[in-house]
Amino acid sequence: MNFSHAIVRPPAPNFADGITMADLGAPDVPRALAEHAAYCRALEQCGLTLTALPADAAHPDSTFVEDTAVITPHVAVLTRPGHQSRMGEAAAIEPALAARFALKQIEAPGTVDGGDICEAGTHVFIGLSERTNESGGRQLARYLEEAGHTTALVRFETGPGLLHLKSGLSWVGGRHLVIVDALAAHPAFTGWHLLRVPAGEEYAANCVRVNDRVLVPMGFPKTEALLRAHGYDPLPLDMSEFRKMDGGLSCLSLRF
């Protein structure tokens, strides 16, 4: 949660051609660009230095940079995204990451989307989903454990609003996990203090602790109140256009 840098990539003009299960209409690209700019300013306000990569129209979902890598203080792993249309995003971001990190790599037949990986201090939850398969999850777990992390595999059912594990789960500090009801009964979360997002506010379960603040999507007052009640300082951001493409706050940056 203590970060000094982030890598971001603005949405490309063909952002609306990306993959989505959400039934919220097509995103407005100029508005998405404005929301992305506000997101970048918020990260800077939290003390981060940003590296902004150029928009990549070869991959309409490429603004969701989080899916291409898993970066912890101890290891950096280039993923192999689980949807055919997104696989090339890993190669596209590799030079920017290889300049900073000695990269490990997920190999075929493994697939991993970074959105399925939730760091909680030294412990890491690895979601097994329609994007992250067992081979990918196990390869990643090995890299993480070799670097000193503990890991837990969390198999879950993809569904509307739950594309990735982190669509419904965030670690905000200490033993606190923000979580949707659909995930809360999984044994991997036994012993953790679960902050369950109120019904109707499931989208707000994707929030991001960045230094002293917790970035939260705008428009979910009960979740903001829940966070405040536990001592956190929420920073709401408009995510309307990214939500239309199944994206959340965490997906828009790689933080380290």
Which of 118, 227 has the CB closer to ligand CIR?
A: 118
Q: How far is the CB of 247 from ligand CIR (least distance, A)?
A: 4
Structure token digits, residue 38:
């506000």
Position 86 contacts ligand CIR (CB under 6 A): yes
Peptide linkage before 109 cis (omega within 30 of 0): yes
Which of 164, 209, 243, 255 lies at the binding interface for ligand CIR (CB under 6 A)? 164
Position 36 contacts ligand CIR (CB under 6 A): no
Q: Which stretch binds ligand CIR (CB under 6 A): 15-23, 93-101, 174-182, 219-227?
A: 15-23
Report the distance separating Cα 34 and Cα 31, nearest Å.
5
Q: How far is the CB of 250 from ligand CIR (least distance, A)?
A: 6
Q: How far is the CB of 131 from ligand CIR (least distance, A)?
A: 7
Position 88 contacts ligand CIR (CB under 6 A): no
Residue 5 annotated to the active site: no
Say which DSSP state 43 is in.
H
Q: How far is the CB of 191 from ligand CIR (least distance, A)?
A: 26
- Catalytic one among 59, 149, 164, 176? 164
Residue 46 annotated to the active site: no
Q: How far is the CB of 148 from ligand CIR (least distance, A)?
A: 24
| Separation in Å, CA 213 to CA 1, 56, 99, 162, 202 | 10, 30, 28, 24, 20
Which of 46, 251, 253, 256 lies at the binding interface for ligand CIR (CB under 6 A)? 251
Q: Which stretch binds ligand CIR (CB under 6 A): 69-77, 192-200, 231-239, 243-251?
A: 243-251
| Contacts to ligand CIR from residues 46-75, by CB under 6 A | 61, 64, 66-67
Position 127 contacts ligand CIR (CB under 6 A): no
Which of 5, 17, 19, 141 lies at the binding interface for ligand CIR (CB under 6 A)? 19
Report the distance separating Cα 77 and Cα 57, nearest Å.
24
Structure token digits, residue 84:
């055919």
Binding residues for ligand CIR (CB under 6 A): 18-20, 61, 64, 66-67, 83, 86, 114-115, 163-164, 167, 245-248, 251
- Tell me the catalytic residues: 164, 251
